[in-house]
A and B are shown apart, each in its own frame.
Chain A
Amino acid sequence: MLLLCALTLSIAVPAAADKVKLDPSNWGHEAGSACVSCHTKASSGLAQQWQDSAHAAAGVNCMDCHRAERSDVDAIEHEGQVIATIVSPKDCGRCHTKEFEEQQGSVHAEAYSIIEDRIPALAQNVGGAAMQAASCDQCHGSRVKVRGDGTLDPATWPNSGIGRINPDGSKGSCSSCHGRHRFSKAQAREPEACVRCHSGPDSPDKEVFEASKHGMVYAAHRDEMNLDAAEWNAGRDYTAAPTCVTCHMGAAGKLPSTHDVGLRNVWSLNTPVSKRQFLVIFEDGHKMELPADEPAPRRGTELTRADGTVGTVKAVATPERRRQAMSLVCVECHGKGFTESFMRQFDAVVELYNTKFGEPARAIMAGLYERGLLTPTAFDEPIEFTYWELWHDEGARARHGASMMSPNHAWWEGMYLVGRNFYARFLPEARAVAGEHADELVDAVLRANGQHEWLDQPDQASAILGFAPREAE
């Protein structure tokens, strides 16, 4: 219990659906009615969506969100007002302070910073510049460029990627999940709010959820989800089923809600080898993930973050505490033993992936690069695609499938394909690249691993391929 309290205090703040504490005199800009009058005609769709929103009901108008200072990089004059097209998390944070502070530094807000230097190898080399704007950046976000003539560079805008670097320096895009201009709570609580990015080969969370018991129950009882409720505490305001929000962000029992979507995640699941992770919280409120196989940084340590800035460590949440937070959601519907055993099954799949495939494949690739048998340029050799798909697509699918209980994604769409890739593509390609060094660079890794010995037993006959084992003669 003590631990529970400490957890609540250290990695989260107040309870569900935080009320805006700002005095209403701070909104209701007098120019707002003129915006609405014209935009009802000029772009009736977005005007109507705003009319139907909680913002309109509370008297929050266009200018309250879009107003800008003349000195703002992206400020433009529009019908006599100084405005900005982009409403950044910082702008939303003028009223929604708690959500803004939680979101800044989250794995969502850092989604672009984390991969910015890696994007070109795939988006620019394998694809082309057009692909980055239309694809990568649409989920990860773009570094929005304001041109000297005040326009937003079309190579970087429109964009509502979750880790967008905004002209004001803030990261993220609230409209990524909260469709503008209605900002419906119910819509953001739906699993569909996450689908734009969490679907497809590398993180098929939509498909995984739908194929899981959670998704099945949700589909059957969607009308009992109380999605419009002001507060949405699992176990109290709804019990029919969980959605993505329930487990990753939502309030459950005494566990407060959070806009840091990665807070309750123990593992990195989209890396070549999964790591248990520390969540480092900095003095300035920013956060960073660090692998837990190295000692935790002490309070007061200075660390360089993904975007190059340096922060001072304020607190560190261990993987165990993050797991406890997630488990608090589970126990609103499941027994403690059930929850712990499920987590054990999930962890076992991640560890299996790591030790049997992820680590040896990584070691083999490292050997090939070290010997100069592969060029440093990514994706200019076939095996680099093979390796990429092994962990980024198939391996991630297997791990996500196990984390959210889709048997199909864990195995057929996941680990089965990892195995097929590893044995039937990766190893033969690695041996071919290694040439005369194949035994040293490839097979020695397998021998040391100890999970591939079945390959040395060619007489294990089975009917699985449709050939009955022959009777002993």
Chain B
Amino acid sequence: MGKLRAPVFITRHVLIALVVGGVGGVLFMTFLLEFDHYTSTNAFCTTCHSMTYAEESYRQTVHYDSASGVRASCGDCHVSEGVFAATWDHAVGSKDLFKQLFGPDYDDPVINALHLPEAAFAARRWFQARDSATCKRCHTQDAIQGKRADTAAIHREETDGKSCIDCHYNLVHRKVPDESTFKRDAWNRMVEEEFGLEPGTAEQLMSAH
């Protein structure tokens, strides 16, 4: 039996490069995993004051407070599964940070409410494009029983060609109409009424940016 020898091209330098690259790769992947994990937490998302408005309504729903003790975090619904997809989502999502810093003052509850519909429409499109993949991390269609008599049958028989988000929008955050029937004017009047503002203020605030 001859002694095992490394091929000739494994020189000392190559060996060092492999070890450094390997360790670096592991460190990088670990960093990504940890980064995605941390940036998917409620605590991270609500560091921006503007996000606390979304949190308020979420805290009122069963996705926050469930009888079984399961709690869906921001990232559970809004960040894809898998390190690459999650990283991609975060990379794309960084535009929100950019807008937070340089866009309208989303921390202002009025501005926030005025811009909410577009945010909702974008989020819905995101769910649709992924066939509600993040819903399905927890919810298995075959296992849905529901409290009412025919909930199971409805999910079994009435969902052909439909994705969770097609029916279950307005589940967690403030109610926004579907884009197809949304009326900007009516929304603006509602926000003005809610905050006791003069009619027309909404348009002024929105055109300021």
15 additional contacts (CB under 8 A) given A38-B154, A41-B150, A79-B167: A34-B158, A38-B158, A41-B149, A42-B148, A42-B150, A44-B150, A73-B183, A73-B186, A76-B181, A77-B181, A148-B183, A149-B175, A149-B187, A150-B175, A150-B182
Contact B153 A70 (CB under 8 A): no
Contact B180 A82 (CB under 8 A): yes
Nearest CB of chain B from residue A152's CB, rounded to whole Å: 12
Q: Which of B28-36, B49-57, B188-196 contacts A (4 or more CB under 8 A)?
A: B188-196
Q: Does chain B have a CB within 8 A of A151?
A: yes
A76: chain B residues within 8 A (beta carbon): 177-178, 181
Q: In the complex, A146 Cα to B175 Cα: how many Å?
A: 13
Q: Does chain B have a CB within 8 A of A451?
A: no
Contact A148 B166 (CB under 8 A): no
Contact of A148 with B178 at beta-carbon distance under 8 Å, contacts A38-B154, A41-B158, A42-B150 already known: no
Nearest CB of chain A from residue B115's CB, rounded to whole Å: 14
Nearest chain-A residue to B181 (Cβ)?
A75
Q: In the complex, A73 Cα to B188 Cα: how many Å?
A: 14
Q: Which residue of A70, A77, A148 contacts B186 across the interface (Cβ within 8 Å)?
A: A148
B142: chain A residues within 8 A (beta carbon): none
Q: In the complex, A151 Cα to B187 Cα: how many Å?
A: 11
Q: Does chain B have a CB within 8 A of A147?
A: yes
B175: chain A residues within 8 A (beta carbon): 149-151
B→A interface (CB under 8 Å): 148-150, 153-154, 157-158, 166-167, 174-178, 180-183, 186-191
User: What is the size, in residues, of chain A's interface with B at 8 Å between Cβ atoms?
Assistant: 20
B174: chain A residues within 8 A (beta carbon): 149
Give per-residue flags for A68-110: 1 if the beta carbon is below 8 A from chain B beta carbons, else 0: 0010010111011010000000000000000000000000000
Q: Does chain B have a CB within 8 A of A124?
A: no
Q: Does chain B have a CB within 8 A of A125?
A: no
Q: Does chain B have a CB within 8 A of A135?
A: no
Give per-residue flags for A19-54: 1 if the beta carbon is below 8 A from chain B beta carbons, else 0: 000000000000000100110011010000000000
Contact of A77 with B154 at beta-carbon distance under 8 Å, contacts A148-B189, A148-B190, A149-B187 already known: no
B177: chain A residues within 8 A (beta carbon): 76-77, 149-150
B178: chain A residues within 8 A (beta carbon): 76-77
Query: What would 10 A/B residue contacts be, using CB atoms closer than 8 Å?
Result: A38-B154, A38-B158, A41-B149, A70-B180, A73-B186, A79-B166, A149-B174, A149-B175, A149-B177, A150-B182
A77: chain B residues within 8 A (beta carbon): 177-178, 180-181
7 cross-chain pairs, A with B, having the tightest CB-CB distances, nearest first = A148-B190, A77-B178, A41-B150, A150-B177, A148-B187, A148-B186, A75-B181
Nearest CB of chain B from residue A269's CB, rounded to whole Å: 40
Nearest CB of chain A from residue B192's CB, rounded to whole Å: 9
Contact of A80 with B150 at beta-carbon distance under 8 Å, contacts A37-B157, A149-B177, A150-B177 already known: no
Q: In the complex, A76 Cα to B183 Cα: how many Å?
A: 11
Contact A70 B176 (CB under 8 A): no
Nearest CB of chain A from residue B124's CB, rounded to whole Å: 11
Nearest chain-A residue to B189 (Cβ)?
A148
B180: chain A residues within 8 A (beta carbon): 70, 77, 82
Contact A148 B154 (CB under 8 A): no
A146: chain B residues within 8 A (beta carbon): 186
Give per-residue flags for A406-443: 1 if the beta carbon is below 8 A from chain B beta carbons, else 0: 00000000000000000000000000000000000000
Contact B191 A148 (CB under 8 A): yes
Nearest CB of chain B from residue A112's CB, rounded to whole Å: 22
Nearest CB of chain B from residue A38's CB, rounded to whole Å: 5
A150: chain B residues within 8 A (beta carbon): 175, 177, 181-183, 186
Q: In the complex, A148 Cα to B149 Cα: how many Å?
A: 33
A38: chain B residues within 8 A (beta carbon): 154, 158
Nearest chain-A residue to B184 (Cβ)?
A148
Q: In the complex, A151 Cα to B176 Cα: how many Å?
A: 9
Q: In the complex, A37 Cα to B176 Cα: how many Å?
A: 27
Contact B158 A37 (CB under 8 A): yes
Q: In the complex, A175 Cα to B149 Cα: how many Å?
A: 27
Nearest CB of chain B from residue A42's CB, rounded to whole Å: 6
